[in-house]
Amino acid sequence: MRTWRVGTFSMGASLLLLGIFLLFSQFFGYQLLTIMMSWWPAILIVLGIEILVFIFLSKEERPFLKYDFLSIFFVGILGTVGIGFAIISSTGILAKVNDVLQREEQTLDLPSYEQKISNEVKRVVVNTDRYPLTIEGTANNEISMFGTYQTQVRKNEQLISKANDYVSIQEKGDTIYVQVKGLPSDSLGPFGRYASLSATILIPSHVKLEVNGNDNPITLKPRSLMNDWSVDRASHLSVQIVNSSDVKISATGVQEISGDQEKWSIIKENVNNDRDEYREDVIKLATFQMGKGTHHLQIINSYQLSLNTVE
């Protein structure tokens, strides 16, 4: 006569349930972490039912439970793994791991921003964050911003849903302040997520412009400049000027000028180098003029400056 040992049925039922869950995951897209966290309590339920059924069906007055220790050990391992998943899940780590596994590198379009400006506006101040920025002049009486951003996101997820997520534009008196915002990021080691932005801002050429570069690369394309513009603290400033421009460019506090330096009027001064204890020539003032130089483009405290003239 076959002897019923508690644990044999539980092991078989546990494997059967696990197989069913895994099969369903192929059709309904369940995640493995979700399966392990939702399936393991069934092990304890099946084992408890098996013990109760054994006692109920036993014809002995004092039934003695006989265990299949190998099966119990196997069921215990499965249960321990499930409990471990549940404990780790309560810390939020599993959610982070699941989120990271579903991410992929994508380049997405920024929601475009457009704002008409009134005739009372005489000045625009642009504060960059930590990303490269292109600033172009336009004949239109509006400020607009567009571009792309690169980040790791899940399928059909958008890190930025509206323009206000990456730029803030406020009008105060005769001045409009444009603040480029930092994109959302997570600094959690291997679970971190970082984003980069590449954007272009169109500024009316007839208004005065002040740009705070915050040591970021900036590309400046004034086109036909009709007012004074200035750029402060750009790590690398690339300027493109059309040949028909009537502009004077002056650069102070610039470490290096690349390109055709013969077109520049450069004044240098000899200063001490504190680190190596010798004197070197540095650029004190550099000027470049096209036409009568009616309008002024001032560049201050930028490390490297390059100038290109275009048709």
Residues 120 and 78 in one domain: no
Residue positions counted in the chain: 311
Whether 310 shows a pLDDT value over 70: the answer reads yes
Domain assignment present for residue 200? The answer is: yes
Distance CA 212, CA 233 (A): 6
Measure Cα distances from 241 to 237, 305, 306, 310 in Å.
Answer: 13, 13, 11, 6
Q: What is the pLDDT of residues 85-119, one digit of tens each?
A: 666 666 666 666 666 666 777 888 999 999 998 88
- Which of the listed residues 101, 135, 150 is the one where a domain comes to its end? 101
Q: How many whole angstroms separate alpha carbon 92 and alpha carbon 209?
A: 47
Give me the phi and psi of 284, to 5 degrees please: -90, -45
Instruction: Say how far apart CA 147 and CA 166 lie, in whole Å.
Output: 11
Looking at residue 182, what is its pLDDT?
82
Same domain, 84 and 149: no
Return the pLDDT at 283: 78
Q: Are residues 38 and 144 in the same domain?
A: no
Percent of the chain with pLDDT over 70: 68
122 and 199 fall within a common domain: yes
- Domain co-membership, 86 together with 122: no
> How high is the pLDDT of residue 30?
61
pLDDT of 1 reads: 42
Of 57-66, 139-148, 174-183, the poorest mean pLDDT is in: 57-66
**CA gap 85, 98 in Å, rounded:** 12
Q: Classify residue 96: in a domain, yes or no.
A: yes
Residue 215 shares a structural domain with residue 277: yes
Is 26 a member of any domain?
yes
179 neighbors 127 (Cβ within 8 angstroms) = yes
Q: Are residues 150 and 83 in the same domain?
A: no
SS3 88: helix
Domain assignment of residue 3, yes or no = no
Q: What are the φ and ψ backbone dihedral angles of 271, each rounded to 5 degrees?
A: -130, 160
**How does the average pLDDT of the chain come out, rounded?**
80
Q: Torsions phi, psi of 83, nearest 5?
A: -60, -40
Is it the case that residue 191 has pLDDT exceeding 80? no
User: Which domain range does residue 27 map to?
Assistant: 8-101
**Most confident option among 53-57, 157-161, 302-306:** 302-306
Q: Give the SS3 label for residue 116.
A: strand
Tally of domains within the chain? 2
- Taking the whole predicted model, whether its pTM rises above 0.85 is answered as no
The answer on 192 and 137 residing in a single domain is: yes
Question: Do 147 and 293 fall within a single domain?
Answer: yes
Asked if residue 148 and residue 270 are part of one domain, the reply reads: yes
| DSSP state string for 120-177 | T--EEEEE--SS-EEEEEESSSEEEEEEEEEEEE-TT--S--SGGGTEEEEEETTEEE
**Among residues 101, 117, 140, which one ends one of the domains?**
101
Crossing angle between the packed helical segments 41-57 and 69-90, to the nearest 10 degrees:
150
For residues 209 and 242, state if they share a domain. Answer: yes
Instruction: Identify whether 50 is part of a domain.
Output: yes
